[in-house]
Copies of this chain bind each other. A is one copy, B any other.
């Protein structure tokens, strides 16, 4: 096994990978941009190297810098995480040339799946069912519009090199088409250095169901069941769960086989995800394959008991996949809630800034993959996802109840997050019943009326009044300026002083 591995990523996923490295007694090497000097992955690593300024294009995305760090540190392999260079075939090739193991598929597979148009052709040949209307990249907005009119609105404009919803736009009618097309091209260029987009038919009530696959260098390939990622907003996943609440066992079996066929069609090696649209009639269409670890991989880990990052490392090291498809079993249910630094009450605007206090949930069957800490700053330059909360339960109902419990324990102060929004979503009948599709969240947001619990509001008002009073008491005591923050000890000791003289009070 490798003795040292470079993690070419940041935040929670870098830490998650380094945790497995530490469990395997492999040294971890972090890279960081200047504003990430304080970031948790730098603190967690055994070694850390600065690779440039804030802009990813000048730091995390610079292949030469990453390879220079690998050589300097003596790392034998590079784990790219997700995003950044994870689906960059030039990087995979450059690693190979430099004699450093790229922990992921061969560049051929990245290329084949990375261009969605190319991927579709390959999949068609392999007998994988496709969404109608898939076409090549188009440059001319008018040509694209003509095509869209031909297949009928709504259509979807997607970045050829894309992922994660960037450069992706749904268009419902002719009027907005050209503006959206250009916006998508601009976003795609910005995010991937490649402005190619294509247009496809938009399936109206689809579930986004994806299959995790693992393939070794010896031709063995298995799937680790599905994840339902249909709770989305602007093509950003919010909540993921496994099993999918609406999939039938026979559909699961079929989709699993197709996922393996898709992976085999590109000689896939490593951990990958085959994404499908699942229709209400249980028919399904190939969407794309992500040739890397997925954000939502932990829910698969929770129900299968398999550490996907460990298998990525073993496979990259040439080891054989000893897991057999027939031995794999889903136990219970798992749910993941992505914690974003954003404000759901203000159009989900990003909310970067200083986290003044954080307290993460814990206890039975609760897992937090976090990229932040009390006192850390969420930088404006990167993804707004600051952590993932994952829970497991004996069944779906228990998992959801546990997620609600865990969310109720989660404290993130200083910035705004979507924790309360998760609580709201989990409590809707649509989510509880499991029949939501990928269009549900935006529809829900339109119809949403936020009902405030009067009792809670009154209680919080009282809390604010008490907080104001304690501040005023502390100021009076210390003779501090009226803007001064009282020292914690003051109020605390205040209680102690008086507390000694208290008895059981009136309650008993």
Q: Which residues of A contact B (CB under 8 A)?
A: 15-16, 19-20, 22-25, 34, 37-38, 49-52, 65, 68-69, 72, 298, 301, 305-307, 331-332, 359-360, 362-370, 373, 375, 392, 394, 398, 401-402, 404-405, 408, 488, 492, 495, 499, 502, 504-505, 507-508
User: What is the bound-complex CA distance between A508 and B298, given in angstroms?
Assistant: 34
- CB-nearest residue of chain B to A12: B363
* A504 with B405, Cβ < 8 A, contacts A306-B394, A360-B362, A363-B368 known: no
The reply to whether A368 and B362 contact each other, CB–CB distance below 8 Å, is yes
Return the contact of A405 from the options B19, B34, B52, B360 (Cβ within 8 A): B19
Residues of B within 8 A of A25 (CB): 401
Residues of B within 8 A of A307 (CB): 364-365, 394, 398
* A363 with B19, Cβ < 8 A, contacts A307-B394, A375-B488 known: yes
Shortest Cβ distance from A322 into chain B, in angstroms?
A: 11
Shortest Cβ distance from A337 into chain B, in angstroms?
A: 15
Residues of B within 8 A of A22 (CB): 405, 408
* A37 with B495, Cβ < 8 A, contacts A51-B508, A365-B367 known: yes
* A394 with B305, Cβ < 8 A, contacts A23-B401, A50-B507, A508-B68 known: yes
Shortest Cβ distance from A406 into chain B, in angstroms?
A: 9
6 additional A-B residue pairs with CB within 8 Å, beyond A34-B502, A50-B502, A306-B394: A19-B364, A23-B405, A37-B499, A50-B504, A50-B505, A69-B508
26 cross-chain CB contacts under 8 A: A15-B363, A19-B405, A23-B401, A23-B402, A37-B495, A37-B499, A38-B492, A50-B504, A68-B508, A69-B508, A72-B508, A298-B364, A305-B392, A305-B394, A307-B364, A307-B394, A307-B398, A359-B373, A360-B360, A360-B362, A362-B367, A362-B368, A363-B367, A363-B369, A364-B369, A365-B367
The reply to whether A24 and B401 contact each other, CB–CB distance below 8 Å, is yes
The reply to whether A504 and B51 contact each other, CB–CB distance below 8 Å, is yes
* A362 with B364, Cβ < 8 A, contacts A305-B332, A401-B24 known: no
Residues of B within 8 A of A298 (CB): 364
Shortest Cβ distance from A174 into chain B, in angstroms?
A: 49
Shortest Cβ distance from A276 into chain B, in angstroms?
A: 26
Residues of B within 8 A of A492 (CB): 38
User: What is the bound-complex CA distance between A68 and B505, given in angstroms?
Assistant: 13
Residues of B within 8 A of A332 (CB): 305
Residues of B within 8 A of A508 (CB): 49-51, 65, 68-69, 72
Shortest Cβ distance from A67 into chain B, in angstroms?
A: 10
Shortest Cβ distance from A358 into chain B, in angstroms?
A: 10
User: What is the bound-complex CA distance between A72 and B506, given in angstroms?
Assistant: 11
- CB-nearest residue of chain B to A329: B331
User: What is the bound-complex CA distance between A23 and B397, given in angstroms?
Assistant: 10
- CB-nearest residue of chain B to A73: B507
The reply to whether B369 and A367 contact each other, CB–CB distance below 8 Å, is no
- CB-nearest residue of chain B to A403: B23
User: What is the bound-complex CA distance between A346 and B297, given in angstroms?
Assistant: 44
The reply to whether A364 and B20 contact each other, CB–CB distance below 8 Å, is yes
- CB-nearest residue of chain B to A366: B367
- CB-nearest residue of chain B to A52: B504
User: What is the bound-complex CA distance between A105 and B126, given in angstroms?
Assistant: 62
User: What is the bound-complex CA distance between A407 and B370, given in angstroms?
Assistant: 17
Shortest Cβ distance from A462 into chain B, in angstroms?
A: 16
User: What is the bound-complex CA distance between A357 and B392, given in angstroms?
Assistant: 29
Residues of B within 8 A of A50 (CB): 502, 504-505, 507-508
Across the A-B interface, the 10 shortest Cβ-Cβ residue pairs: A23-B401, A362-B368, A23-B405, A22-B405, A19-B363, A68-B508, A23-B402, A49-B507, A50-B504, A305-B332
Q: Which of A50, A362, A366, A492 has the most CB of B within 10 A?
A: A362
Residues of B within 8 A of A404 (CB): 23
Shortest Cβ distance from A504 into chain B, in angstroms?
A: 6
User: What is the bound-complex CA distance between A368 and B361, given in angstroms?
Assistant: 9
User: What is the bound-complex CA distance between A50 and B495, given in angstroms?
Assistant: 15
The reply to whether B401 and A301 contact each other, CB–CB distance below 8 Å, is no
Shortest Cβ distance from A334 into chain B, in angstroms?
A: 11
Residues of B within 8 A of A16 (CB): 363-364
User: What is the bound-complex CA distance between A332 and B306, given in angstroms?
Assistant: 10
- CB-nearest residue of chain B to A297: B364
